[in-house]
Homo-oligomer: A and B are copies of this chain.
Amino acid sequence: MTKAPTVQDVARAAGVSRQTVSNVLNTPDIVRPVTRDRVLQAIVDLGYRRHAAARMLRTRRSSTIGIHLDSYAGGVSGVVLDRFVHALTEHASERGMRMLVYAARSPEDEIQRLGELTDGGEIDAVVLTGTVHDDPRAAWLRTRVTPFVSFGRPWQDDDLGAPAHPWVDVDGAAGTREATEYALEAGPRVAFLGWPSGSGTGDERERGWREQMALAGLSGPRLESPESVPAAEAVMRDALAREELDAVVCVSDSTAIGAHLAALSIGRGDLPIIGFDNTPVAEAMGLSSVEQQPELVAVGALELLMGPSGDVVVPREPGHVLVIPRLVVRTRGR
């Protein structure tokens, strides 16, 4: 069995007392240089590492960032958040930070958990996901002066000019503009298959399609379906029976799959249909899709949280990072 070296081992190797080793670690100025060198040499030789608890007590820093891990809700787009957590773990590790994941069943429950984790000094900072207007978690974190950043904008009046808190998000309209530009190569009749109006994310994605169509002097049919494959399939089947379409830009991969199945069922498997989120489903079915680039979102979140210095900071002025998504083009080639 290999055992980690202790302060005692270092003291023995350097021929000094434990107290002297402790002084070298904590108050090196009071130790004679010749002794200090001997102790530092022993620390290096033995590969001694200070216990995390001791480091935490000294610095009051845990070097740990907390993030809520939702319980698995199913659905095709949950993978975007998981990719974000994966990327955050990798990039945080490169910056010497740990990621602690916690569970919570409601915003109130999450605030309770955050209270325990911050009171206990177990986390220095928080990454919020699934932000809502007037988010109670953000308000609570502000009163605690706990550094945080959210994946998702605060959905307030001036998120871009004067954000209520630091956030990173994906520019949904830029994504559907690019998707629409590509779809128009197939012909002028480009429909949008969207969710019912009123969701910030869905309205934003619809705007990109509308703007790009207007740029080309066009408008097209707007179809509507809830986030469900069979519902989207039924809507698209009706639409295709009613009118001729050259391509369809969809608000999500689920709706795109439904649209593709409807097209397949009438022998139009070649109809260009573009999804959103570039999930494994879109990849598996060979559908084009707008990719949110969660890896860039993770890098942006850490930039806002840690700043150029690499320390976790409470930003003086809340900033934001808006990631431009990219279109992944696939052709089923049938």
> Which A residues are within 8 Å of any B CB, using their own CB?
1-2, 4, 49-57, 62, 64, 69-72, 74-76, 78-79, 82-83, 85-87, 89-90, 93, 98-103, 113, 116, 118-122, 143-145, 229-230, 254, 257, 261, 264-265, 269, 279-281, 283-286, 295, 334
Contact = CB atoms under 8 A, between A and B. Distances in A.
Contacts of A50: 120
Contacts of A55: 120
A69 B62 CA distance: 20
Contacts of A89: 69, 101-103
27 contacts: A1-B143, A2-B143, A49-B116, A49-B120, A51-B57, A51-B120, A52-B53, A53-B54, A53-B56, A53-B57, A53-B121, A55-B120, A69-B86, A71-B86, A71-B87, A71-B90, A76-B281, A78-B79, A79-B79, A79-B280, A85-B101, A99-B102, A101-B101, A257-B284, A257-B285, A261-B285, A279-B280
Q: How many copies does the complex hold?
A: 2
6 closest cross-chain pairs (CB), A and B: A53-B56, A52-B120, A90-B103, A76-B280, A93-B103, A53-B57
Given A89-B101, A257-B285, 14 more contacts: A1-B143, A1-B145, A4-B118, A50-B120, A51-B57, A51-B121, A52-B53, A53-B57, A56-B56, A71-B90, A72-B86, A76-B284, A98-B100, A264-B264
